[in-house]
Structure 1
Amino acid sequence: MPDASLSPEPALERALSQARWRLLPLLSLGYIAAYLDRVNISFAQEPMSHALGLTAETYGLGAGLFFVSYALFEIPSNALLLRFGARRWLARIMLTWGLMAMAMATVHSSTSFYSMRMLLGIAEAGYFPGVIFYLSLWFPARERARAISLFYLGLPLSNVVMGAAAGTLLRLSGTLHLAGWQWLFLVEGLPAVLISLAVFALLPDDPHDAKWLAPEERNALLEHLQGEASGLGAAAHGGWRLALRSPMTWLLGGGYFLMLGANYGLSFSLPAMLAQATGLSSTAVGSLVVWIGVAGASLMLLNGIHSDRNGERRWHIVAPLLIMGALLLLAGGGLRLHGWLAALALGAGVAAYSSFQGPMLSLPITIFSGEAAAVGMAAINMCGIAGGFVFPYLMGWLRERTGGYAAGVSVLAVPCALAAVIIAVLLKPSSRPQQNAIADEPSSLEEWFPDVAPDAEGGS
């Protein structure tokens, strides 16, 4: 009688379990460093602006310029990842952005502030979509929302790290003749450099290179992924041109532009808004940001796991978006009263944003495969990153003209609502029978975009 432990399904589960523990913690650590280094200027905003003479509008523009250069280099970076392999390219990205993040301590004027933010964007371009594509090489559709949520824990957990460390680092002002905000950039850029060395040493390019997988585990995983990919049809396996030609790429990109833009419009001013609303010190505000990060991490995991278990994406994205929009409207009103109501609504809004990332980011790598998935994910993230430029600048512009944050926060409810409408329409259930019990969203798109449907036939 054959040993059940050697049957394909147990071998597959063992392979997936090992992939979770060996890949996701390291990649999530990388994203903690990435998000930390792009938004730590939110804590440096007040002392740095005072030292350099930056206005609110100038700060908003500088904060957003990171996303312009990031977006421009997003697709080329993912194309180079395909050429050089995930291990080399992701390690290179982390090393260069860590060095650029540390170099932010040398900023001495508005011009150098703009320049360094753009260089940081060039250095970091490609890490996030590259990892999302990389996860598609390891995890089947039924596991992807959870896997992406575990990776994306880096976002709320970066708030935990930033909140815990920022107050201490800012208090180093004067040490070695450096300002506190300079210490903030120097210390918080170093982890990316160190993690890049671990990525280069430990990350396999794909399951073929994973020495820690037994042969039967590797074979079971590869066979399952190949079988799942073949079910997408030939059209979904095209090259980068397929992804860039597909309306689905740009519609999802438009939704992500609104989502990510609302988040960054909020994040870059969050510590200052919390301080205004509560009257707390920078250290106490940091502690509050820690709790917001913990709440966001918890909701992210719960929503991602629930989405995978139920094979549903639409309402796991739309409902948190609508809740986030309502909370931002509430916070906008609360900021006029300078109360704790605003602080609670702001924190809950950030946590709501975190919760839908797993289901949302699983969509491109469910619709496309291979090179099309890599470039499609990069294009969608490029659109989202563009929102990271527009909305922080809008927040600064509105603050300059209204004298406060209330109008800007209220306006951020609009992109949340629009993104919810886009996702609700795109993922509207099809009248046709579902063929994929795990990921219903591609089948629901068949009437819209048959060229990327899972059962599409024919060549590219």
Structure 2
Amino acid sequence: MGRHVVNSVSADAYEDGVSQERTMGKVARRILPFVCFCFLVNYIDRTNISFAALTMNKDLGITPTGFGWMVGVFFIGYCISEIPSNLALQKFGARIWIARIMVTWGIMTVVCAFARTPTQLMIARFLLGVAEGGFAPGIFIYLGYWFPARWRAKAIATFLLGVPLAAVIGGPLSSAILSLHGLGGLKQWQWLFLLEGIPAVALGIFCLFTLKDSPSKAKWLSPGEKAWIESELQLERARIETTGHMTLGQSLTDLRVVILSCTYLTGLIGLNGVYYWMPQIVKSLGLSNVEVGLVSAIPNFLGAVAMILWARSSDRTGKRVWHVTATCLLGALAMAASSLAHDGIFIMIGLTVALIGAFGFLATFWALPSTFLTGRAAAGGFGLILSIGNSSGFFGPYLVGWLKQTTLGYSGSLLALSGFLLLAATLTMIFRRSVRSPRESVPVSPSPGLMGK
């Protein structure tokens, strides 16, 4: 009876696209700016070690290979806690668990400021990874509670804007903080960890009062709007489960999940390898710390714009696999071209285009697992994909550091990263052969933009 009433409301009151777009626009304005800002802070705290390295490596005696380990150990902790954290989210609710994650990662970022040896810093970075584990997949699952499939890619892309915007804002901010040498008896990099860790704690507390666990608990939605969203999500889950209900255990061994895990791993090796080393690559061109922050922001800003445009194109056309493959190929070609360049301007142009491709991959990839994962299977499947994929945070930066120390330059590193992006494109095409057409699996949004033009 309840489902009949819900579906009746959906059909009678929200059969026109205008009402649907108005409702989803309201949801987007309430949820997406906050979660995007949270992810921005998350990525600043995760990656600020790349700017801290400009002075920290010398103070603590950290080699290029050692820096690769400093970056990578974070992801070991992150991957270990990924799936348990997702299952805890299912048990305790998104609002409470996401708030817990944010408060603990903020505290651990502050702890990094008081490391006195490379070993202490490595332990703190590992615990930071454990604290952060589950945040991104938790938000992916949370957005699935609010956004039907035809709006979800744009919602996820808006959330993931936090990645490039973290560099756009975090780069100049981190460079400015590095000017606080000697203030209060702390070194520049210590101030960096301290000042950039505190906001996460405040946001975690604010999260408890901002996020709602489901549309039914949102006072800012009308009864009809709540009913329509719940109906759309119920119908979507029913369509997916008609092809065969997947348990948690099955999701962890499903061939499609394994292929997507490897795709995400190889794609992110290309992205993280550049992202974490970008400040030092730019610094090697002879720029000051302040100039490094400003120049590093440019490719990330363009990557942010590309993410939104590419996600809209993916939702409008429904050609999910093609959009993921094209971005990987673009990034691979640009990275290879950058490895062959000798002039600083051409190196930066190549890296900019490569990041546009890598961020485009990030924006459109997550529409693929959503075509066949729901419920606890989604928690496990998303967690596995992210656990394997996020190990790229170890392999990518470590590979760049090892090749730089071995070859005394970045050309070999960039060429290797190009190869991983090419492999990601190949794996995406293999995934396409293992499922029916994504255009048939995922409804296409009737309008070009989630937030309106």
TM-score, normalised on structure 1? 0.90
The change in CA–CA distance for 1:289 and 1:60 in structure 2 (over 3 A counts) is same
Question: Which region of structure 1 is more displaced relative to structure 2, 400-409 or 48-57?
Answer: 400-409
Q: Distance in 2 between matches of 1:48 and 1:431?
A: 50
The change in CA–CA distance for 1:401 and 1:423 in structure 2 (over 3 A counts) is same
Q: Which residue of 2 aligns with 1:458?
A: none
**Aligned counterpart for 2:30 among listed residues 4, 19, 22:** 22
Retained in 2: the 8 A contact 1:152–1:358?
A: yes
Q: Which residue of 2 aligns with 1:298?
A: 305
Q: Which residue of 1 aligns with 2:325?
A: 318
Q: Which residue of 1 aligns with 2:450?
A: none
User: After the TM superposition, which residues 390-409 of structure 1 pair with which residues of structure 2 at under 5 Å, given as runs?
Assistant: 390-409=395-414
Q: Distance in 1 between matches of 2:207 and 2:245?
A: 28
Q: Which residue of 1 aligns with 2:281?
A: 273
Q: Which residue of 2 aligns with 1:219?
A: 227
Q: SS at the partner of 1:139?
A: coil
Question: Which region of structure 1 is more displaced relative to structure 2, 67-76 or 291-300?
Answer: 291-300
Q: Which residue of 2 aligns with 1:78?
A: 86
Q: SS at the partner of 1:362?
A: coil
Q: SS at the partner of 1:356?
A: helix
CA deviations 1:187-223 (Å, max 9, x no partner) are: 1112211211221111001112112111010001111
Q: SS at the partner of 2:284?
A: helix
**Residue 360 (structure 1) aligned with residue 360 (structure 2):** no
Retained in 2: the 8 A contact 1:332–1:409?
A: yes
Q: Distance in 2 between matches of 1:242 and 1:137?
A: 22
Q: Distance in 1 between matches of 2:226 and 2:145?
A: 12
CA deviations 1:44-85 (Å, max 9, x no partner) are: 113101000111111111110100110011000000000000
Tell me the C-alpha RMSD between the 2 structures. Answer: 2.1
Q: Distance in 2 between matches of 1:147 and 1:430?
A: 24
State the one-letter code of the partner of 1:40.
N
State the one-letter code of the partner of 2:218.
A
Retained in 2: the 8 A contact 1:56–1:396?
A: yes
Q: Which residue of 2 aligns with 1:330?
A: 337
The change in CA–CA distance for 1:430 and 1:361 in structure 2 (over 3 A counts) is closer
The change in CA–CA distance for 1:179 and 1:314 in structure 2 (over 3 A counts) is same
Retained in 1: the 8 A contact 2:279–2:293?
A: yes
CA deviations 1:362-416 (Å, max 9, x no partner) are: 2112211111112111110111111211121111111121112221111111110
Q: Paired residues, what number?
A: 435
Question: Which region of structure 1 is more displaced relative to structure 2, 309-318 or 353-362?
Answer: 353-362
Retained in 2: the 8 A contact 1:57–1:396?
A: yes
Q: Which residue of 1 aligns with 2:201?
A: 193
Retained in 2: the 8 A contact 1:129–1:378?
A: yes
The change in CA–CA distance for 1:365 and 1:136 in structure 2 (over 3 A counts) is same
State the one-letter code of the partner of 2:241.
G
Q: SS at the partner of 2:87?
A: helix
**Aligned counterpart for 1:140 among listed residues 144, 148, 154:** 148
Q: Which residue of 2 aligns with 1:245?
A: 253
CA deviations 1:339-379 (Å, max 9, x no partner) are: 22112211221222111223201211221111111211111
User: After the TM superposition, which residues 372-383 of structure 1 pair with which residues of structure 2 at under 5 Å, given as runs?
Assistant: 372-383=377-388
The CA deviation at 1:15 is 2.9
**Residue 124 (structure 1) aligned with residue 132 (structure 2):** yes
Q: SS at the partner of 1:73?
A: helix
Q: Which residue of 2 aligns with 1:425?
A: 430
**Residue 288 (structure 1) aligned with residue 285 (structure 2):** no
TM-score, normalised on structure 2? 0.92
Q: Which residue of 2 aligns with 1:60?
A: 68
Q: Distance in 1 between matches of 2:204 and 2:380?
A: 23
State the one-letter code of the partner of 1:240.
L
Retained in 2: the 8 A contact 1:105–1:182?
A: yes
The CA deviation at 1:432 is 8.1
Consecutive unaligned residues of structure 2, counting only runs of 5 or more, are 1-8, 446-453
The CA deviation at 1:268 is 1.3
The CA deviation at 1:13 is 3.2
The CA deviation at 1:242 is 2.1
Retained in 2: the 8 A contact 1:274–1:285?
A: yes
The change in CA–CA distance for 1:243 and 1:429 in structure 2 (over 3 A counts) is closer
Identity across the alignment (%): 35
The CA deviation at 1:269 is 0.9
State the one-letter code of the partner of 2:316.
R
